[in-house]
Amino acid sequence: MNEDKFMSAADLYERLLPALRTKKNQMKLEKYIGITEKDIWDYLSSKVWSDKRNLTLSEVVDDILNTDSLELYTGWRYKK
């Protein structure tokens, strides 16, 4: 589909912001404070998606929403 084609990583990031915000807010409710949408994006981009090819938008959103919050938070904390 044309709607799933993106000209750049920045375009994709903008399209995924609602899912990234949802995950950030979920993590905040779980008491994982301080992580941002960009932190989640950076972690998943480098640790989960870097070895994958031809991902669909729905697969990426699924990864954002269903990756364990502790995994994201721990990965983010060790990166700093």
Of 71, 6, 7, nearest to 43 by C-alpha is 71
Question: Which residue has tokens 């932190």?
Answer: 39
**Cβ atoms of residues 80 and 36 within 8 Å:** no
pTM for the full predicted model: 0.87
Domain ranges of the chain: 2-79
- CB-count exposure of residue 57 (10 Å: 0-12, 13-18, 19+): middle
pLDDT at 79 over 50: yes
According to DSSP H, which parts of 1-80 are helical? 9-29, 37-47, 57-66, 69-79
30-64 per-position pLDDT tens digit: 999 999 999 999 999 999 998 988 888 999 999 99
Question: Looking at residue 2, what is its pLDDT?
Answer: 39
Q: Is the pLDDT of residue 70 over 60?
A: yes
Query: In angstroms, rounded to a whole number, what is the distance separating the alpha carbons of residues 5 and 66?
Result: 23
